[in-house]
């Protein structure tokens, strides 16, 4: 588990992060926090604030990078986090979820092997978002038989696409 007292997960990560205009401010904050915690951050845009940009343009490349293993985990942010989750989950190999609570942030990884955390920049405060990111990064898939079995049923569905 992470050393949440110091705010630094034990393992530095290569983390991909993406947002549209609705998540731009939160994304900038999280990038600074991730760098401060010693992680490598790969940015998928939007590199500037554009009020009419579209989250799939940034979230889909991020989800592909997660699925291909170019980054270890992804953080995708839009206004609500909903569009980001919908878009990311269309990419085979991405397992994304909108999460705004600490329990799901670790349980989603431990049980469901979540690899992409989605956040709503217009919904959640910066401090809680950072806490959730740290919990998400510190969590590991348990590999328990029942969870592997359930996940394999999801992965099987992906193979039929």
Which residues would be at the binding site for ligand RB5 (CB under 6 A)? 20, 22, 55, 78-80, 82-83
- Strands (DSSP E) contained in the chain are 14-19, 40-43, 73-78, 96-98, 116-120
Of residues 22 and 45, the one with the C-beta less far from ligand RB5: 22
Shortest reach from residue 148's CB to ligand RB5, in Å: 31
Of residues 123 and 151, the one with the C-beta less far from ligand RB5: 123
Cis bond leading into 28, ω under 30°?
no
Residue for token pair 């992470």 = 2
Shortest reach from residue 70's CB to ligand RB5, in Å: 24
Of residues 15 and 87, the one with the C-beta less far from ligand RB5: 87
Shortest reach from residue 2's CB to ligand RB5, in Å: 28
Give the Å distances, CA to CA, from 158 to 59, 89, 91, 93, 95. Answer: 19, 11, 9, 8, 11
Nearest residue to ligand RB5, by Cβ distance, number only: 83
Of residues 9 and 22, the one with the C-beta less far from ligand RB5: 22
Question: CA–CA separation, 109 vs 140, rounded Å?
Answer: 6
């Amino acid at each position: 588990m992470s050393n949440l007292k110091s705010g630094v997960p034990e393992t530095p990560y290569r983390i991909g992060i993406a947002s549209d205009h609705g998540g731009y401010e939160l994304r900038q904050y999280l990038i600074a926090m991730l760098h401060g915690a010693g992680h490598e951050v790969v940015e998928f845009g939007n590199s500037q604030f554009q009020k009419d940009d579209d989250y799939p343009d940034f979230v889909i490349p991020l989800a592909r990078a997660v699925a291909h293993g170019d980054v270890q985990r992804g953080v995708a942010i839009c206004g609500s986090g909903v569009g980001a989750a919908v878009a990311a989950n269309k990419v085979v190999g991405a397992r994304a979820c909108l999460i705004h609570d600490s329990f799901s942030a670790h349980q989603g990884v431990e049980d469901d092997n979540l690899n992409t955390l989605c956040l709503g920049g217009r919904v959640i405060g910066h401090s809680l978002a950072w806490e959730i990111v740290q919990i998400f990064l510190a969590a590991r898939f348990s590999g328990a038989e029942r969870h592997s079995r359930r996940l394999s049923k999801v992965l099987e569905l992906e193979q039929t696409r």
